[in-house]
A and B are shown apart, each in its own frame.
Chain A
């Protein structure tokens, strides 16, 4: 049986640590900062992944995209851009009708994008992104005005290039700060257009394109803004998720007749999602790794203080040995003190990291995972063991005579 029991050792370690509260906190500071930053960074990475997954889920799992250029590399990540992505930047109406004819049981929506100037009775906005598409875009992208906020444009309006426009929530507010944008007339480039719908607020897309600032109109209108009939993207909605691989194959086959294989990409949302997630995952691991360096620095801090403690308590160690403590009892005692210091730091760090991520979550997606807490806690405990061994061994090897004589 181990003498003294682990219980007794933990109790006495706690006591000696509590005798020096200020020093305990300062010693643990390195670990606290390290663990808090690791928790914070992983929670941000994790929150980001969840957020993006949700965004993709709203697109639906049965959506296939056709984009110009080579988007993915062979490993599933995004292509670095060495291919001719920027040479062939668009498709045309022939491609659209080819696809519509050959790929059955799908809804194919062409998307054309232009930057325009919009003038309302109140203000003028430049460089507004206007999305030209077919009338089905709203249902395919699951992005509709809710009741009371108007409607999306119809097939008839699309066919006759009606002067109607649907505004994103933010854009509508910017153009008409006092509200009531619905039904108003605005001038897009030089064209008079009627606002027939205002979309629901979609929420910030942190630095990326903000769909709340977009305007939506029949694709023919965008063709006249840009002066050509280029289609930037096609969104293909299949009837069921199971159809996705087959539809992708069919589209690829048709496109290959006319284009080089690097000139376009057919992909679905899960592919895009896994690529984005792998990037975020690598970023999170990388950043957390950098933060983890501070854990090592914190561990060295603990080792320093433990070495000081061993010197300070040389007499105590000598006394304990004289009255019957065997070397291992001393070793374990000091090791436990180091572990308590580091796991105390770990616990505080986790609490701070958690609170911090709750705070950040108000304006940036962040979510603490149980696994990151467990990893952070075990790493900080491990740091205590690794950096506690040297001082503890030093203590256990002290000769009782030398130690008792120490002044």
Chain B
């Protein structure tokens, strides 16, 4: 597989996306006509001050929310009109989420946390444990497979969360302030992990952060302000 070819393929495209929130009589456009393209194998960061609409953008990219108007194309298919069940399936197979709060299930082992997305997938039961352990090995936590989140450091917890995001072999990894709750050393390790996944496994990575310095780690930066893309 040649790198240049895959880099030219658009994996995600937003066309004039508007998201309007209505509270009482007042309307507010959190996204006001956003158009962007993300290529396969790209490492993109989306940044902007708080209230800029980057969270809303991330929710729409992550198929957690649907736009008021405009199109969202995932691998050239319009997904803005899909039903909730279909969206859930795409989130399960095509997307991997990494959150600021890790969002691991408490009192549940690392391995079981990693296996959680497989519960909602077609992966046969026999292959699941193997897959989970593989992912934990990838984030260098195979020794902590039986440990619960409470027994892990913040950085380790986030790596378990990354292993969970990877377990269904998604094309896109969506990370929302993944280092926000970590010390700088662990944060750096996480970013290195993203670089590794991007370069060696050619996964598309979308990193959402308010931290410009962190955003600069990506190959491309999209700055959003007042619901519009102000700079690429």
Contact = CB atoms under 8 A, between A and B. Distances in A.
A210 to B, nearest CB: 61
A186 to B, nearest CB: 78
B93 interface: yes
A326 B62 contact: no
A326 B63 CA distance: 13
B137 interface: no
- The DSSP consensus for interface residues of chain A is helix
A19 B107 CA distance: 8
B64 A4 contact: no
Interface in B79-112: 84-85, 88-89, 91-93, 97, 99, 101, 103, 105, 107-108
Nearest to B92: A324
**Most A CB atoms within 10 A — which of B65, B97, B119, B120?**
B119
Contact of B116 (A19, A320, A399): A320
Given A3-B120, A315-B103, A326-B120, A321 B88 contact: yes
A401 B88 contact: no
A401 B120 contact: no
A138 interface: no
Contacts, number: 67
A322 B62 contact: yes
Interface string B120-138: 1110000000000000000
B62 A3 contact: no
A319 B59 CA distance: 13
Contacts of B84: 326-327
**Most B CB atoms within 10 A — which of A319, A321, A327, A401?**
A319
Interface string A318-353: 111111111111000000000000000000000000
Given A318-B103, A321-B64, A326-B84, 9 more contacts: A3-B121, A4-B120, A322-B62, A322-B64, A322-B97, A324-B92, A324-B93, A328-B85, A404-B101
Interface of B: 59, 62, 64-65, 84-85, 88-89, 91-93, 97, 99, 101, 103, 105, 107-108, 116-117, 119-122, 164, 168
Interface of A: 3-4, 8, 12, 15, 19, 315-316, 318-329, 399-401, 404
